[in-house]
Amino acid sequence: MKLNKEGTSVIILSALIILGLLALLNSLIPIKWIVLILAIMGIVLFGLIIWFFRMPPRTPVIDDNKIIAPSDGKVVIIEKVHEPEYFKDERIQVSIFMSPLNVHAQWYPINGKVNYYKYHPGKYLVAWHPKSSTFNERSTLVLENKEGQEILVRQIAGAVARRIVTYSKEGENCKQGEEFGFIKFGSRIDLFLPLNSKIVAQLQDKVQGSLTTIAEF
């Protein structure tokens, strides 16, 4: 199984800590069946960490007319809102909530170029909180397709997430289905789309990054 590069340090550190604790407990606790139970718990925990950083093989959907899901998760918001950071006008917001069990990489939803990137430090409200889009730690990307249509993609840290990684830079090209970031341990992705977009996804839909169509231009 392929693992995301963002997990390398976490996986190595977790393995060392778990092995160190088990060795210490083995020397302190004379009752071996208790040590065995703790060892099993440690293996399960390490397995969950490995599972979190998995990168399953995917063949991305490539279609210039489609806006593809930038992440795995569940669609929790579809509504018309005022977007204050970049567009400063009304857009359709589609939000995808990622649980700790989802794949946490992010993929470009369209082909085109990166017009805008900004990282915002902030709070760590639960990711489904209405104000997390403007108060939490987050990164904002604006992507423009070859027709000049722009969409905004926002990575949002949640109550457990403590690190957002974004590989994008202003002015560089973006390729639909190519990985552009990663959020560690529970988070949310917001899309802000033109008002004339045809929304294909529905509330509570479970979507897969680089595979599921969210909307069409």
* 27 catalytically annotated: no
Q: Which residue has the tokens 């109550």?
A: 159
Q: State the DSSP H helix or E strand holding residue 191, giving kind and residue range, or none if neither.
A: strand 187-193
Question: Cα-flanking dihedrals φ and ψ of residue 128, to 5°?
Answer: -85, 0
Candidates 133, 139, 168, 187; catalytic one:
187
Q: Please, what's the largest Cα pairwise distance for the chain?
A: 70
The count of C-alpha atoms lying within 13 angstroms of the C-alpha of 135, restricted to the half-sphere facing its C-beta, is 12
Asked if 188 and 93 count as a contact pair (C-beta separation under 8 A), the reply is: no
* Closest of 210, 213, 180, 215 to residue 59, by C-alpha: 210
Rounded to whole angstroms, how far apart are CA atoms 49 and 14? Answer: 8
Asked if 194 and 91 count as a contact pair (C-beta separation under 8 A), the reply is: yes
Q: Which residue has the tokens 């085109």?
A: 112
Pairing label, strands 213-216, 179-183: unpaired
Judging by beta carbons within 10 Å of its beta carbon (0-12, 13-18, 19+), is residue 59 exposed, middle or buried? exposed
Residues with catalytic function: 187
